[in-house]
Structure 1
Amino acid sequence: MRRDPKSTTVRRTPWPEGAERALGTPLQPSVVYTAADPDALDRIYDDGAPGFTYAREAHPNAEVLAAKIDRLEGAEGGIVLGSGMAAATAVMMGLLKAGDHVIGADQLYGRSLRMLAEDLPRLGIATTLADACDASAIEAAIRSETRLILIEIVSNPTLRVADLERIAALCRERDILLAVDNTFTTPRAIRPFEHGADLVIHSVTKLLAGHSDATLGYVAARDPELRERLRVTAITLGLTASPFDCWLAERGLFTFELRYDRAEENAAALAAHLAGLEGVQVLYPGRSDHPQHDRAAALLGTRFGNMVTFQIEGERDAANALVRAAGQIGFAPTLGDVSTTLSHPATSSHRALTPEARAALGITEGTFRVSVGVEPVETLCAEFEAAIRAAQA
């Protein structure tokens, strides 16, 4: 008996078509996409016709998410990648070569610092770290071979505010690319392209996605030529974003503004409460006692963000006691979740640094970073006060 070839289940079934469209974004996990013929592939690859071929190069869920973040940032042609560090890697590997020099702010995410201190020099790219709060320190670090400066507007974890305007002016004068990691501040607070940035980087994992269930990054360039170099590098190095993570992150973005506003309001109230406790030092850009408060107000207006850093006296035993007493608050080396999380930089984001290097940045065993969520602020204030009292005891 001969089997009808149309009866096999091995062949793909065409997707049902209709006049209606799904309200929710479809999840498209396919690795490959079929084309009508070789000419159709030529039109996609050579003529820029819309279409997809292989998910490492592009896929629908990444493009939908990138377009959403582009609108937030006032950007064009942004690329969604597998993580925030993948975005930073695309910038460094795609735009730099052996013999170039990079300046990084001396207060960056710990893995960014490691890339600058260890990985780039191994590839023949020289690096210097300088205080981004002081544009003259950045200027003093510039060499003839300097090609790029990387800063965070609000630093991780001590929440210092970079002198963005003067650094951007230096980059324009010296023909140096300025890359801004906007993860902490987000485009809800500031759009770096409007302040002279050439490149904007995000860990989408954090506030943009907002639910600790998607690991993604994003990078956008002002110049179309740089965009293409970033795209080619991302494809070559396989910095691909998962379609499922892109789908989750897009879902998170629907509530981004609501989450951000509530968390920011909570952060201001929590910072005020903690500052009123004996033996607690608080860093929050919205407070008048912050070292760069005036600069923060000039750059960010009233959008001071959801991150609060505080410091207590004591060593590891005090840190352990505080975390154990804050059992309802997630102790996690991350930020941007819809709920509040507590981080200990000395053992998480900056654990790769020596104690002396951490001390130079103002990070001690008693330093804690809070990513404030959307819980009732009265609950947060009570929980943190109880945890601090336990540590002090």
Structure 2
Amino acid sequence: MTDTPRTIVRRTPWPESSSRAVVTPLQPSVVYSSESPDALDDQYEGRAKGYTYAREGHPNAEVLARKIDAMEGTEGGLVTGSGMAAVTAALLGCLKAGDHVLGGTQLYGRSLRMMNEELPRFGVATSLADAGDAAAIEAALRPETRMILVELVSNPTLRLADLDAIADLARRRGILLAVDNTFTTPRALRPFERGADIVIHSVTKLLAGHSDVTLGYVAARDPALREAIRVTAITLGLTPSPFDCWLAERGLYSFELRYDRAEENAARLADHLAGCPGVRELLYPMRPDHPDHDRARVLLGERGGNMVTFTLNGGRAEANAFVRAARTIAFAPTLGDIGTTISHPATSSHRALSAEGRRALGLSEGSFRISVGIEPIDLLLREFESAIAASGAASAE
């Protein structure tokens, strides 16, 4: 006769409690059990609330989505596995073969690749036009145009889309307007309030804020579109990690503090760099010398954001010297981190373009994009001034 082993451990229900956790629990479970087939039917058919399989949704994603919904003034948004997953869900969920989508010429590099190389494989026609010129957008429309996709602030040239005019145009023509709000965030502008039909975020960036998650978010005004996007995301497996959702939710609690401090630093840094010898051009939307300054004031008010772009005198040698001298600032192709980062479009976001293509956008080997963080501003001013001086010394050699 054999005794029943005492080392067998079985799954048991979560402990009941008359109190609740202050911090959102992390639930990494892939599957959820139901009481019966009837109960499962009730979930799938909308008569009961519940979860079944994490690809179809899980608690941490829902908690995060509802918080971003509140920030954007909407409901029913969806968290995805990355910013590009959100773009993909919006495009493939709303478009079909024979449709045409018009994008801004300065979309994020992978969004451009989606437009130029991926969508045509599925029979969706694409083209690009300057989002800063509503007349150019209108001229590029076709009878089969189903969607216009723009970023409010372009990367890395920081030009502003003529959002109000484009929204009016889209409404009159019955075309969907999708706005990638990653750079501006709802702290600066809520696109649904300016006529957008779809809002997209790379949560990886400013919303999460610590370069330790990869997530996206997409929301649609129309419930039918919302459902189409959700089903597409589930089918394609654009599922977010519960742990990343948990981390991003934690990041949201400090979002306003981080955003305001970084924005204040960016304005100070932009004014300082504009006067530095060796800086040929500087772009920041709240500066009067920005080419879209008046539009920025209309759309963003005083919210200039945390992004600054500048161009050094010289070329690759000066760029290398600048990065090497800025040892305490991360040289990394990202943005929105709590710490300041710098990126070099010619070797990261715009490396796929020819030198001529980059010049057409106003970019050169000396162009850098700064995602300003929350460090003490005096420290940043000294570090950038020193690094720019080092680039000038390289030029003189």
- The answer to whether residue 328 in structure 2 is matched with residue 333 in structure 1 is no
Deviation at 1:47? 2.3
Q: Give percent identity, aligned residues only.
A: 72
State the one-letter code of the partner of 1:273.
H
* Paired position in structure 1 for 2:387: 387
Q: Secondary structure at the match of 2:45?
A: helix
State the one-letter code of the partner of 2:39.
A
Which whole-Å CA distance do the structure 1 matches of 2:384 and 2:119 have between them?
40
The farther-off stretch of 272-281 and 146-155 is 272-281
| Structure 1 residues 1-393: aligned runs within 5 Å | 1-4=1-4, 7=6, 9-280=8-279, 281-393=281-393
State the one-letter code of the partner of 1:242.
S
Q: Secondary structure at the match of 1:20?
A: coil
The structure 1 segments of at least 4 consecutive aligned residues displaced by more than 4 Å after TM superposition are 2-5
**Alignment deviations for residues 237-280 of structure 1 (CA, whole Å, 9 cap, x no partner):** 00000000000000000000000000000000000000011231
Deviation at 1:67? 0.4
Which whole-Å CA distance do the structure 1 matches of 2:45 and 2:12 have between them?
29
TM-score for the superposition, normalised by structure 1 = 0.98
State the one-letter code of the partner of 2:354.
T
User: Which ranges in structure 2 are unaligned for 5 or more consecutive residues?
Assistant: none
Deviation at 1:13? 2.3
Deviation at 1:4? 4.3
RMSD: 1.0
Which whole-Å CA distance do the structure 2 matches of 1:62 and 1:351 have between them?
34
Which whole-Å CA distance do the structure 1 matches of 2:4 and 2:35 have between them?
24
Which whole-Å CA distance do the structure 1 matches of 2:65 and 2:140 have between them?
34
State the one-letter code of the partner of 1:206.
K
Which whole-Å CA distance do the structure 1 matches of 2:221 and 2:376 have between them?
40
Deviation at 1:354? 1.9
State the one-letter code of the partner of 1:390.
A
State the one-letter code of the partner of 1:300.
L
**Alignment deviations for residues 139-169 of structure 1 (CA, whole Å, 9 cap, x no partner):** 0000000000010111111000110000000
Q: Secondary structure at the match of 2:43?
A: helix
State the one-letter code of the partner of 2:212.
D
User: Which ranges in structure 1 are unaligned for 5 or more consecutive residues?
Assistant: none
**Alignment deviations for residues 282-329 of structure 1 (CA, whole Å, 9 cap, x no partner):** 100010000000100001110110000001122211111110000100
State the one-letter code of the partner of 1:278.
P
Deviation at 1:117? 1.2
Q: Cα–Cα, structure 1 residues 48 and 57, in superposed 2: closer, same or farther, change >3 Å?
A: farther
Which whole-Å CA distance do the structure 2 matches of 1:276 and 1:122 have between them?
48
Which whole-Å CA distance do the structure 1 matches of 2:8 and 2:221 have between them?
48
Q: Cα–Cα, structure 1 residues 165 and 48, in superposed 2: closer, same or farther, change >3 Å?
A: farther
State the one-letter code of the partner of 2:29.
S
Deviation at 1:127? 0.9
Q: Cα–Cα, structure 1 residues 96 and 228, in superposed 2: closer, same or farther, change >3 Å?
A: same
Q: Secondary structure at the match of 1:178?
A: strand
Deviation at 1:356? 1.8
State the one-letter code of the partner of 2:237.
G
Which whole-Å CA distance do the structure 2 matches of 1:83 and 1:63 have between them?
15
Deviation at 1:2? 4.5
Deviation at 1:122? 2.0
Which whole-Å CA distance do the structure 1 matches of 2:351 and 2:49 have between them?
45
